Structures are given as structure tokens and as C-alpha cells.
Structure 1
Amino acid sequence: MAIVKPFRAIRPIKELASKIAALPYDVMDTAEAREMVKDNPYSFLHVDKAQIDLDADVNMYDNVVYEKARDNLNKMIKDKQYIQDEKPCFYIYRQVMNGRGQTGLVACTSIDDYVNNIIKKHELTVEAKELDRVNHVDYCDANTGPIFLTYRANNEISEIVNKWVKKEPIYDFVSEDGNGHIVWLIDDSKVVNKLEKLFKTVEYLYIADGHHRSASAVKVGHLRRVQNESYSGDEEFNFFLSISYPDNELKVLDYNRTVKDLNGLTSREFLQKVEENFVVKHSENNEAVKPAKKHIFGMYLDRSWYELEAKMGTYNDKNPVDRLDVSILQNNILRPILGIEDPRKSSRIAFIGGIRGLKELEKRANTDMKVSFSMFATTIDDIMNIADNGQKMPPKSTWFEPKPRSGLFVHKLK
């Protein structure tokens, strides 16, 4: 039984929504963020990545960064760039990318559901990244970036959403990347209560993207409980900001790999080793290989494309993690041949989101890297099956697009 509750969002005034809404803090580095905001003083990156407003030599994890984030958020509210709804509401958020839409419900979810595994995880987190967002949420006293959740589609919930989106939206704009963003406000108490009850019939929610943000939000919630020993459980710090999408709305993109060297092997020696566990074919007319099904890989080496098909016995089909293509590549090429034991720690490997296209894999292998691999995308079913089994996916297994924008909804913890 999932707890999904309405809240009084702090949200942009309509005239500034398109200027405030920003990509998530973790999809760009500080230099890129500085460039993004140079002509936009309203961007929410001034809150989510506040080091852009400080000297370049300031450590991004210094307390002064979190103080700046808090001050910037408070100033935006004080300057009436934001408003707050008078009563708890739900919000529908639709994104449109290349003609395909995904529509989710913006709400608050329970830190206890996270702890009790009603909100299921499929990735490990890195402590340093968690601590960064713990400090950010703690100083801002707010959840500033929504957690990207999914659930098995529920017809009754979808019917309500589909009916409501026929109304006038509160926001409707196209961001600089060409993606559409449309938001509707659900303020009808009967509909709000109905949605709350319906979500209580949803057995599990699954984190699609935002494992560090969710873990950090939960830690801040527990910190607030220690500070407020007589808490009732209804306080806002017991909940965190999320967007829940039905699984049939989402599309996972491939998350590709490129490697700096062949671990001391010649190209011929490397290909011979690859052929031990894969059927290797030259791509016809040297066309880029975008795998059309699981267990097929593209490989770009010495300006040539190859198609690799994993042989039987290279994976355990009964193990949902072992049969993932990212695992097959790691266990049969990256670790044993290229010597990359832990891709999270190796400086010899880079990960390329599928939205960048296969040309990016070619470019990297032709310049600063040596060999690139294109992957078939992990599926939503893969994610749910692994989470249901209490297992964790390898790092960089999924890439979701479009990504929810930050800054459209802020959830204050008190």
C-alpha cells in the first residue's frame, strides 16, 4: 500500500515557469551550468547548483554553497517569483519529446514507505553524492528536485488523469531542448481523495531515477524526527517530493560505453578474445549498429562497426541481473578482457546516454577513446523484476528521457 499525498506546492508564477524550470542538477557539471544560466537569472540551477554564483575556486561541497542555495531559494520566494497553493493539491506533469508524451502525478511520498521497501530501489548509492543532497535539502529545508518514480499502471488512476488533462493547464511551454512541459492543478477535494485511496491499492512504487535524492530526503526526514521527538508522522518532513508515472508511459534509452584502451592488446588480439563468447560480424557497409533486441551489441573499433551476439552460456537466463546486457558486457568483455573491474571507479571508461546517439560513440573512439559499445536499452520490466528480487542493477544501466525539470515544484519540510 503506497502513500501518495497532496501538498501545497511552492511553484513559479506562470510568466516565469519556462525560465525557472531547469534540468536536474546531476546531468551537467559546474562549468556547463554556468554557461546555461549566463543569460537567465531565474534558472533554478541557482538553487540546485548554487556554486555557479560563487568563485570558481570554491569547493562545490563547501557549506557556503548550501547557504547560497538556501538564500537563492528564499529570495526567489520573497521576490514573488514563486507562489504557494492555499490547500494541498495534486499536480499532473506531462512532458513531450519527439512527439511522445509521458504523464505523471506530482505528489509527496512517504519516507517510511522508502524504509519499508514499498518504494523499491534498483541501484546502489555513493555516500559522497548522498551527503551533498542531504546538506542541500537540510539547508534549503525543502525538496527541490522531484524523485522519478514508476508503478504498474492502474486503469482507474489513468482514467482520472486522462479526464483531468482536458482542462486548462497552469503551465504550457517548450524548453530550450525542444521538449514540451504541461502542468495541470488538481484542486478538487473529491478527486484528490479518490487518487489518495487509489494509490493505496498500488502495491509498490519503484525508483526509476533519483536514488541519491530519495536516500538523502529520507535521511533529512529522520534528522527532523530526531530534532522533533514528539512528531506525529503527519509533518511535511515525513514526506518527499516525487513524480509517479505509470510504467506504460515510460521509455528507457540505451546507456552506452566507450573505453580508453585495449588493456595492452592489439586490435587483432582483442577481437580474437571477444570471439570466444560472442558471434562477431562486420557491419554491412560499415553502418552504425543500434541493437534491435537483447543480447546483441554494437562495437566500434578502428573506424569499423561490428555486431556482437552473446553466445549461450555467457549469462544465467534465470538471474534477472546476470541476463542484463550491461552485465553480459561487463562480465564477458569489460572485466576479463579490458581489465575494468569496477566501472564506477575506473577512469578508463565513460558512459554515453543514448540520447547522444551513435555518432558520439564514433567520435569518442576516434579521438580520446579506443573502442565503443552500443547497447539494447534496459526495460521497465527489467527494473521492476530486479527490484522485486531485492537485487541491484550494475551502474549506468538506465537512461530516462525526457527528464522531469526541477524548479516547477518545491516541497517545504515545514
Structure 2
Amino acid sequence: MKVSNSLRELIAARRTGFNLDAPFYTADEVYDLDMEAIFGRHWIYVGVEPDIAEPGDYFTVKLGRASIVVLRDDDMAIRAFHNVCRHRGAQLCNELSGSVGNLVCPYHHWTYDLTGQLIHNQHMGENFECGKHGLKTVHVGNLAGLIFICLADEPPTDFEQMRETMEPYIGPHRIADCKVVAQDDYVEAGNWKLTLENNRECYHCVGNHPELTQSLYEFGFGYQPSSSNAEAVQEFRDLIEREHARWEAAGLKSAEIERLDSCVTGFRTLRLPLDRDGESQTMDAKVACQKLLGDLTDRRLGGLSFWIQPNSWHHFMSDHIVTFSVQPIDAGHTLVRTKWLVHKDAMEGRDYDLKRLTEVWLATNRQDGALVEMSQRGVASPAFEPGPYSPYTEALVEKFTNWYVERLRAAIA
């Protein structure tokens, strides 16, 4: 991996407890390193099982210059391939999603089955060996219905540890028995790390997210204790203890697990109660879908949040799931893809109203996008210098930047 001395010095000089220096957010050289060292070597969340519910269903994802096709084969296994024909390199699938019997190159019609094997071509001579020209595979990880890919030859091995830890948390929500009823692809005018930093704190939530804070407790994501809020903070802690005991007794894992910067595949999870005797992340904090997920019967299961480095976060409620993936476009633009899932048998108009289901996070995404864009303009200013993180409300941002810088150091060592 070729890295300039100036970039090595920038990485070495990172100051703990402060946000990153401007080139981390603005320089093309850093973006190129991010795509190779972070998105090219780690497990990247790309979709959910219901995206490819049937054999032949596929979706494509772009990571830097790499295009990947993720599909369900005839045996219902999930596979991923580089979206490149082995003949002269034409892109095989040119839509975001679809369904096929085989993968047929639109250029010269080389045909691959759903396991990636070349099964048909013409004019290549009698001695041509199809078996040597199958599609190039990409590693796939499935965590209770969340689909991850890894472009590295040898992916991080701790994915299995994360999967074993998280399946009991996510399993009762039964992603495979859901359907995706809405998807929002929104491009933020900012670097992907600003998108992640913004997500990893709620310091900004009050005053910026009026829809989201209808159901989120003010103290749920960090708060500096003081004499004026001590009683309210203690009440919230007592509520968490009571609700965790109730949920755990019902077989729902709820306790915090925090490994954001202590693992190669960093992650964190926690189930928190919702405000206003809340049931779901909606404007009135009531369920958005009357048909609950899996075999769940209690609407008041709070919100189970799951954060994974480097590119995703997810919210699981009794009635629906919201998943988010981050895909860098260039140094100053980032795609945020949001999906809403409900039970596969839920019917629009009877069980759920799509506007009510999506309105909180559609609004929140646009508000976050505006904040990220403002941050991008700020870090590009010659007056910018890294400022200190709050130890109370931005501790998870520090863990993200710690993880990020340590992964760069490991890659260039």
C-alpha cells in the first residue's frame, strides 16, 4: 500500500479526544486510502435477506471503484461476486436490483449460473476451459438476516464472534420473515466520516431533530450530570433497569455490549426504552405497524440499536426495523441508504401507513444531511482546527475515530 510521508505523519499525529484534521475529510489521497484500507478490508453492511428473498434475486452495491452483485442462488444460499464479466470486463448487472435466471453479460452474452460458474460462451475455440473463467467471488457474512460483504482476500475473523453475540439480540425480530417496504437513497454533501461521527452522538438531537426526539429520551445517549438534572437522570437509569429486567425475563437480550474500538469488527448494541410510554420510533411513539414482528406480542419493547464499524447502524422495534448503510462516493459526498422493514404478511392500508412508518427518519436523514454539509464546509475552511469531543455525549464519536485511525495504522504498518 503506497502512502505518502505527509499522510503517514498526519495519521501518526492524530490527537486523542479531538476530531480529525481537515485532510481526513477533504483530501482525495485520504479517500483513496479509506477505500482500500477500510472499505476494502473490513466487513461492510450492504443489505438484508428480504432484498433477495427468492432464487435469482440480486442487488448491486458500489464500494469505491468496485461494483459487487449480491444474489440468492438456486439452493437459497447468498453469494456475492465482482460485477465484472471475465471476458472483456463489461459490467454484468447494470440495475440496482432485479431477478435473473442466470447472469448474462450484455456485451457478448457470456453466461454464468447463480454460483458464478461460466456455463455458456461462443467462438472461444475447442480448447477453451470454462472452469477457469468463473466470476470472482466476494466473501459474504449473514448476521441474523443482515448481509455483509468483505472484499479482502482474508476477511477479519472476528465477524463470527460478533454474529454469535448479536444473533440472540436480533433473532426475535426475525429479519428473514420481513419485507422491505421503503428505501431512501440520500446523498449527503460531506465526507463519510462526518456522516458516521454525526450518527455516533445525540449531542445535536435536541433542537435539530424534533421528529426523532418525540420517542427518544433526552438522557438515552449521554448527558453531563449536574444538580439540576440528577433526579431525572436517576429516574431514567431506574427505568432502564426495570425494563431490562422485564425484557430479559421475556427472552429478549437488552444489556449493553460495547466493542466499538476494541475489535477489528467494532460494534455496540443496547436496548433502550422509548419516551411517552413509547412503542416505536414514530411521531406519537405508538407502533406504525399493527402486525408485530416474528412471534412478538408486546408492543413496548423499546428500541434495540446496533452500531457496526465502519458503515452502518440499525434500529429494531416490536413492529418494524430501520437499517442504514453508508457508502462513500468521493471525498465530499456520501450515500446514506435507509430501508424500512415490516412483517412480510403486513398489508399497507390495513396494518400500516407508509407515510407514518417513514416520516420520522425521512425528516431526520435530511436534517442530518444539512448538519453534515455544514460540517464539510467548516472543515474545508483554512481557519478549521480540531476541537475537543464531549466526554459525556461524544464518547462514541471518539471510539469511532479511535477505531478508524487504528485501522489505518494497521493497514500501513
Whether these two folds match at TM > 0.5 is: no
The normalised TM-score by structure 2 is 0.25
Q: Which has the higher helix share?
A: 1
Higher relative contact order (CA closer than 8 Å, sequence separation 6+): 1
The normalised TM-score by structure 1 is 0.25
